[in-house]
Amino acid sequence: MTKTIFAVLTALTLTSCNNNKTTNNNMSEQKQIVEKYMDGFRATDHEKILSCLTDDVVWEMPGFYLHNGIEAFDKEIENPNADGHPDIKVIRLLEEGDIVVAEGTVKAKMKDGNKLDAVFCDVFHFTNGKISKLTSYLMFKNTLNNTTK
């Protein structure tokens, strides 16, 4: 009896805490789009990534760059110095209204033998079911030198 009450209360709590539109797997549509976007980057799949974006998307990394429009975004998908696809792990997805925040790690091998090892926090703004603005915060755990091989 106690286990049944606990299960019902847990289900009610989870349902009431999630006020965003969800699908069968209990992940909201916006979070699913962020996952699709990340999968696109893992495979360097331009089409998959771009399908998640509005035409007038804005991508900003404060202090580093500001890209306006899907064409500018497309040019930044691949790092010409990278050797292969990045290893991106999403640790946490948080959602409130039309915003999803993704926290994670990214690792990549570089053509010069160095390795990229960083943590990120991406803030995705949605308009009509697509990403309309992305603000990326990135912190390197190394200095891209050969001592991290």
The DSSP secondary-structure symbol of 58 reads E
Instruction: List residues bridging with 44 in a β-sheet.
Output: none
The rounded distance, in Å, linking the Cα atoms of 93 and 22 is 14
Which helix H or strand E contains 38, and what residues bound it? helix 29-43
Topology annotation, domain 29-148: Nuclear Transport Factor 2; Chain: A, (3.10.450)
Tell if the pTM clears 0.85, that is, is over it: no
pLDDT digits (tens, 9 = 90+) for 52-95: 999 999 999 999 999 999 999 999 998 888 898 999 999 999 99
Which tens digits make up the pLDDT trace of 103-119?
Answer: 999 999 999 999 999 99
What is the predicted pLDDT for the residue at 79? 83
In the chain, where are the structural domains located?
29-148
